[in-house]
A and B are shown apart, each in its own frame.
Chain A
Amino acid sequence: MDFLSLVQLLDTTVRLATPLLLACLAGLYSERAGIFDIGLEGKMLAAAFFSAAFAYTTGSVWLGLLAGVGVSLLLSGIHGLASITFRGNQLISGLAITMLASGMTVLIAQDWFKQGGRTPQLEGAARFEPITLPFAEALKDVPILGPVYQELISGHPILVYIAFALVPLTWWVLYRTRFGLRLRAVGENPASVDTAGVSVVGLRFAAVMICGVLCGLAGAYLATALQAGFVKDMTAGRGYIALAALIFAKWRPWYALWATLLFGLFQALELRPDLIETVIGIKVQGQLLGALPYILTVVILAGFVGKAIPPRAGGEPYVKER
């Protein structure tokens, strides 16, 4: 494999890892606060549809993004209502939200655009265009670094840079701010947070809403940047891969970046099976690459390679003592 195709492979990796990273960080906020969320997939899907639909109708991708985040927040609100206010089963709620999104998006898309559950192709200002970083063209001919800068680092839509910037930001929020300390505490031992006079319900709702915003970004990226429009079930299990990455990362932001990049690489390799064959000389089944994130996660969960310990109060509704 020559240098250029390696750079291109990594470039595809970055593009495919971005929605995983956004969704993974979304899950991280929610689960660190003790709210399991298996509805990441549904929120991404709903956001993907609404961002594409609004971007197409208004012609502005930013209005689309706003609509995507809005609907994702709405679904987050339902999840919060079910799992925090009414102390219901968080897993069942997440599943219901995913199903709701998968049915409603097609239903609304069919009614709105009459194209068999998809939106029309997005063009021009209705899409996030790649951004060329300064000097990318000028430095193109510098050996090694030139192509890396021009192909890999420059030339992505703005949401990619936002996603990567969110990693240090999330680390800072979680480990260096009072809000982050409380957020982590509410996922480990909500009673102690309550005793300190801080609202458990408020903190958990805040976490669930942050999760909604990030899922909205992930969905909008899928429909308006990675692809040009919405198609039925276009998230294709990415929400669950993000969930797998979250476990793989042991609920920590920097590890989340590496995990999603690894899973993004698997997805990129699935698109280029010829590359693996030339490098290691064996034909690897595409299905195996597709299933690798899940298999690796099960191995991690089994505790053979380090142990993944979830936040202690995860999945448990908090009932105040009377």
Chain B
Amino acid sequence: MEKMPHWADIVLIPLISLVLSALLSALVILAIGENPWTAFKLMVDGALMRSSGWGYTLYYATNFIFTGLAVSVAFHARMFNIGGEGQAMLGGLGVALACLYIPWPHWSLAILGASAGAAIFGAFWALIPAYLQAKRGSHVVITTIMFNFIAAALLNYVLVSLLRPRGSMDPASAKFPEATHLPTFRDMFSTADNILFRGAPANVSFFIALAACVLVWFLIWRTKLGYEIRAFGHSESGAKYAGISPVRITVISMLISGALAGMMAINTTMGESERLVLNFTEGAGFIGIAVALMGRSHPFGVFLAAILFGFLYQGGAELALWTDIPRELIVVIQALVILFTGALDNMVRMPLEKMFLALRKGDA
């Protein structure tokens, strides 16, 4: 018998964790002498009440959908891919190479090519940790952490020594050609007398992120491979007994995970900066962990959680602009969400389970 109804598990527990994180964050804001309610209203005003605010919120959300899906796919195979950051950096390299060295006739073709480049490079960066986990039993968390740092050093080297245009001091690649520039929301949704999403970086890759959500859902719940991944995640020995190869599932799910994390770069590198810059990931790989935990590893949950974190990011930027609250408040909120939904899950779950059991006894 289930200890509590399914809806409580997927809706109530994340909500309670979110409320706990929000309360603690409110205390932090109080402690530094600001009013939490005004701060919250500022965030809502800046992120949701104007189309340009939405343009930023959805831009950040696009990144978090990709990295959140990446972490989720690995979670389904009971692996913790903490290397989204490094895989996204390599993805950026894939995007840059595809955009700089292939003469694309039109952005619609360029985005397909760049997505492929991002996915291949990201997947490649996940391949070695996956192989070591599958064949050598070295823990994928440790190797992906190491690969984050190796990726940062590699990106630094490539940008400073190889891709930097002659005479430029900036550690960044050359500007991508005009034909690869992606249409922004402003280009797509504005009419002549009503300009929407002014100056906001949200672009067409948001829809690719939505497509990725649907594809991941289809993969995990509607295909044989997805079934095998979930079976492996529930019980490795059971999966083995059913003839599922642990090596194959480990490697394939990490490859998918790495590819998704890498694809984040089409949004930032191709859609926003239109060149490869240092630190373009801005910790999105780690936010993916919070998003996946919050969204219970389901693509729809990931979508909602990504929007929430997009709102927090844009709202946080507004706060830093108008008050004395630094942007780092968002990092604190993010840490609290990860702490409550991930590590202290049982703290929220145990009393709830007791409550539901008591309720059920009352009915009987």
Closest to B333 in A: A103
**For chains A and B in complex, what number of residue pairs have CB atoms within 8 angstroms?**
151
Residues in chain A near residue B324, CB distance under 8 A: 110-111
**A 90-118 binary contact with B (CB < 8 Å = 1; else 0):** 11110111111011101110110000010
Q: How far is the CA of A310 from the CA of B141 in the complex (A)?
A: 13
CB contacts under 8 Å to B, within A106-143, are 106-108, 110-111, 117
Q: How far is the CA of A301 from the CA of B150 in the complex (A)?
A: 15
Closest to A114 in B: B324
Q: How far is the CA of A308 from the CA of B301 in the complex (A)?
A: 38
Verify B136–A103 contact, CB threshold 8 A. no
Assess whether A160 is interfacial by the CB under 8 Å rule: no
Verify B326–A87 contact, CB threshold 8 A. no
Assess whether A240 is interfacial by the CB under 8 Å rule: yes
Contact of B343 among A89, A102, A243, A285 (CB under 8 A): A89
Q: How far is the CA of A98 from the CA of B141 in the complex (A)?
A: 15
CB contacts under 8 Å to B, within A284-306, are 285, 287-288, 290-291, 294-295, 297-298, 301-303
Contact of B334 among A99, A108, A310 (CB under 8 A): A99
Verify B146–A96 contact, CB threshold 8 A. no
Assess whether A163 is interfacial by the CB under 8 Å rule: no
Verify A288–B153 contact, CB threshold 8 A. yes
Assess whether A247 is interfacial by the CB under 8 Å rule: yes
Q: How far is the CA of A43 from the CA of B145 in the complex (A)?
A: 17
Assess whether B32 is interfacial by the CB under 8 Å rule: yes
Residues in chain B near residue A290, CB distance under 8 A: 149, 153
Q: Please tell me the size bucket of the interface on B.
A: 35 or more
Q: A95-B82, A106-B328 are contacts. A294–B136 as well, Cβ < 8 Å?
A: no
Binds B, one of A78-86, A165-173, A192-200, A209-217: A78-86
Verify A91–B328 contact, CB threshold 8 A. no
CB contacts under 8 Å to A, within B317-364, are 324-326, 328-332, 334-336, 338-339, 342-347, 350
Task: Output the least CB separation between A239 and chain B (Å).
Answer: 10
CB contacts under 8 Å to A, within B92-139, are 128, 132, 136, 138-139
Task: Output the least CB separation between B295 and chain A (Å).
Answer: 15
**B 51-89 binary contact with A (CB < 8 Å = 1; else 0):** 000000000000000000000000000001010000000
Closest to A241 in B: B149
Verify B326–A117 contact, CB threshold 8 A. yes
Residues in chain B near residue A86, CB distance under 8 A: 343-347, 350
Task: Output the least CB separation between A78 and chain B (Å).
Answer: 8
Residues in chain A near residue B136, CB distance under 8 A: 301-303
Closest to B133 in A: A301
Verify A294–B156 contact, CB threshold 8 A. no
Taking A102-B331, A110-B324, A301-B136 as given, write out 16 further A-B residue pairs in contact, using a Cβ cutoff of 8 Å, ordered by the A residue number. A82-B344, A83-B343, A86-B343, A87-B346, A88-B343, A92-B338, A92-B343, A96-B335, A97-B339, A98-B335, A103-B334, A108-B32, A111-B324, A243-B145, A297-B146, A301-B138
> Which residues on A are within 8 Å of B, measured CB to CB?
38, 78, 81-83, 86-93, 95-100, 102-104, 106-108, 110-111, 117, 237, 240, 243-244, 247, 285, 287-288, 290-291, 294-295, 297-298, 301-303, 308, 310, 315
> Which residues on B are within 8 Å of A, measured CB to CB?
28, 31-33, 80, 82, 128, 132, 136, 138-139, 141-143, 145-147, 149-150, 152-154, 156-157, 160-161, 286, 289, 293, 324-326, 328-332, 334-336, 338-339, 342-347, 350
